Structure 1
Amino acid sequence: MSDVSSAERECGKAFLPKFDSQGLLIAIAVDSETKDILMVAYMDEEALAKTRETGLAHFHSRSRGRLWLKGETSGHFLRVQEMRVDCDQDALILLVKPEGPACHTGARSCFYRRLDGEDLEPIA
């Protein structure tokens, strides 16, 4: 349990990230120009520190169980322009400048389909 009060976390000026029981925060990458949601991932303390240190989005890969620099294999980095923190500091919005597609499928965004009844339809 944290020593930080809700009032400190919600109304104070200090950055006091609230990691979940697995040590993760939700991180939503948003294109800083278009405001399109590009992807949702998780950050642990290491990923958050590396992102702040380098200006490049780092995440915690749950499937690989390790630090992951977005773009490390594809070259499609996300350059962080601004970080926004939600009210209880357990989620972040990263306003980013993408250097190529954000999705591993090659799509610009991981959100490239919409639900239409029971079917997924590509978003034009």
Structure 2
Amino acid sequence: MNDWLDEINWNEDGLVPAIAQDHKTGRVLMMAWMNREALQLTVSEQRAIYWSRSRGKLWRKGEESGHVQTLHEIRLDCDADVVILQVEQRGGIACHTGRESCFYRVYRDGAWETVDLQLKSPDAIYHKGHTHE
């Protein structure tokens, strides 16, 4: 029944990198990790669920911020060791810093330059101070 999960090349920790991408624009929103349970639940609940390495538990994207990622499609790369989640980002904010994407810095002339505006402060997102999802 879960043969599709057996086709994934999980790393030594039983994880696979998961890239969340806007299903309409193709913009990369974020990268997180998934274990078997997270990927299976993502499919069954049709929303992005990741594995939080820092907290050692499942993390339903948006459970604290309200910025849920609704699943549209999952793709597996040629080596079967990376997945892409095509999602609709509810609320327009994927990053815990209050930006649309976690990839908001560009390398220019020997330094990282912030190129995306902060749409909302982390304090306003998490209602109690900065908490990374």
Same fold flag (TM > 0.5)? yes
Return the structure number with greater relative CO, CA threshold 8 A, min gap 6: 1
In 1, Cα distance between equivalents of 2:112 and 2:9: 34
Match in the other structure for 1:121: 113
In 2, Cα distance between equivalents of 1:63 and 1:116: 31
- The offset of 1:107, in angstroms, is 0.3
Tell me whether 1:22 sits opposite 2:13 in the alignment. Answer: yes
Query: Structure 1 stretches of 5 or more lacking a match?
Result: 1-13
Give percent identity, aligned residues only: 45
Q: 1:87 aligns with which of 72, 78, 81?
A: 78
- The offset of 1:117, in angstroms, is 2.6
- The offset of 1:87, in angstroms, is 1.1
Q: How does 1:1-124 map to 2 (within 5 A)?
A: 15=4, 16-100=7-91, 101-124=93-116
- The offset of 1:69, in angstroms, is 0.4
RMSD: 1.1
Equivalent position amino acid for 1:80 in 2: L
- The offset of 1:21, in angstroms, is 0.3
Query: Structure 2 stretches of 5 or more lacking a match?
Result: 117-133
In 1, Cα distance between equivalents of 2:55 and 2:68: 19
The number of aligned residues is 111
- The offset of 1:120, in angstroms, is 1.6
In 1, Cα distance between equivalents of 2:48 and 2:8: 17
Q: Calculate the TM-score normalised by the size of structure 1.
A: 0.85
Structure 1 stretches of 4+ with a deviation exceeding 2 A read none
Q: Calculate the TM-score normalised by the size of structure 2.
A: 0.80
